[in-house]
Structure 1
Amino acid sequence: MHRRAFLSTAATALTLSVAGCTSSGQPDENTDFDIGMSANRFEHPNDPYEVPVGEPIVWKNTGGRTHTVTAYDADIPEGAAYFASGAFESEQEARDAWMGDLGGSIAPGETFEYTPEVPGEYTYFCVPHEPGGMIATFVVTE
Structure 2
Amino acid sequence: MGSQVTRRGFLATLGGVAGVAAATEPADAQQEGQTQRVNMTDSLVFNPDEIFVEPGTTVIWQNVGAVGHSVTAYEDEIPDAAEFFASGGFDEEAAARRGYPDRGDIAGEENYRHTFEVEGTYEYFCIPHESVGMLGTVEVTTDPPAQEGFVSILTNRSRDIAIYLVTGLVAVLAFAWAVLKYGGEYGEEN
Give the TM-score taking structure 1 as reference length. 0.72
Which residue, 40, 43, 46 being the options, matches 2:47? 43
Matched, 1:63 2:65: yes
Query: How far 1:64 sits from its partner (Å)?
Result: 1.4
Task: Give the match for residue 93 of structure 2.
Answer: 91
Regions of 4+ moved over 6 Å = none
What is the 5 A alignment of 1:78-117? 78-98=80-100, 101-117=101-117
* CA distances 1:71-110 after superposition (whole Å, capped 9, x unpaired): 0000001110000000100000000001xx4320100000
Task: Give the match for residue 129 of structure 1.
Answer: 129
The total of aligned residue pairs comes to 109
Query: How far 1:138 sits from its partner (Å)?
Result: 1.0
Give 1 or 2: higher helix fraction.
2
Structure 1, unmatched stretches of 5+, are 1-29
Once superposed, what is the RMSD of the aligned Cα atoms? 1.5
Larger radius of gyration: 2
Where 1:128 maps in the other structure, the secondary structure is helix
Give the TM-score taking structure 2 as reference length. 0.55
Structure 2, unmatched stretches of 5+, are 1-28, 143-190
The amino acid that maps onto 2:96 is A
* CA distances 1:99-142 after superposition (whole Å, capped 9, x unpaired): xx432010000010000110011000000000111011110012
